[in-house]
Copies of this chain bind each other. A is one copy, B any other.
């Protein structure tokens, strides 16, 4: 079922970078999907059927490793595109996507998206830039993984989450993650994440309420990174 209220097409970068004549094609072919918290959007190994744009909500992109061991590769929020893995429709997805909270996504079939790329010269260009930026932050994470200790990686993750998802009125980062999810992102166990966040709390560098975390002393946290 299509629900216009759940997705403002005009704010979407695909729409914005297409020539006006093409916009109706997108409008005619898009579909809106709604996912509950915890629901799978796509699974690694799946055939690539199309591309998703997040309208509302938060999503984690993750890869499996043995049973129950996960790595969260990245987080995505409204406006972000997920699932695209290059041209040639025989491609397989290399990661899964799961809704962290109730989310509505716009789906564009892969053939429509690929045609969009051909018809709108701007688009490949914008996408190229987008992937370059993503690559940059991924390379940065490799560096962090290689040389930072767990505490540093957790602090770095908290700062990234603040940047990415912003804060509510009380200063809490606007995303609710379990200790296990944080652990899967930084490459650690949930026990260690629990200990480290407890330590940061006791030092009043952060505070937490349920699954929400607020940053209290940004400066002190940043200093932990430079040691």
Contact = CB atoms under 8 A, between A and B. Distances in A.
A38 B19 CA distance: 48
Nearest to A123: B124
Interface in A85-116: 85-87, 94-95
B187 A145 contact: yes
A145 B145 contact: yes
Contact of A143 (B73, B125, B139): B73
Interface residues of A, number: 36
B147 A146 contact: no
A147 B85 contact: no
Interface stretch (A21-29, A130-138, A167-175, A215-223): A130-138
Contact of A139 (B65, B84, B138, B147): B138
Contacts of A184: 146
A69 interface: yes
A85 B141 contact: no
Contacts of A139: 63, 73, 94-95, 138
Contact of A146 (B71, B127, B135): B71
A115 to B, nearest CB: 13
A136 B187 contact: no
A87 B124 contact: no
Contacts of A141: 142
A136 B145 CA distance: 17
Interface in A132-190: 132-136, 138-143, 145-147, 184, 187
Given A117-B125, A124-B124, A131-B131, 13 more contacts: A63-B140, A63-B143, A69-B147, A71-B143, A71-B146, A87-B129, A94-B136, A128-B128, A135-B135, A135-B138, A138-B138, A142-B187, A147-B187
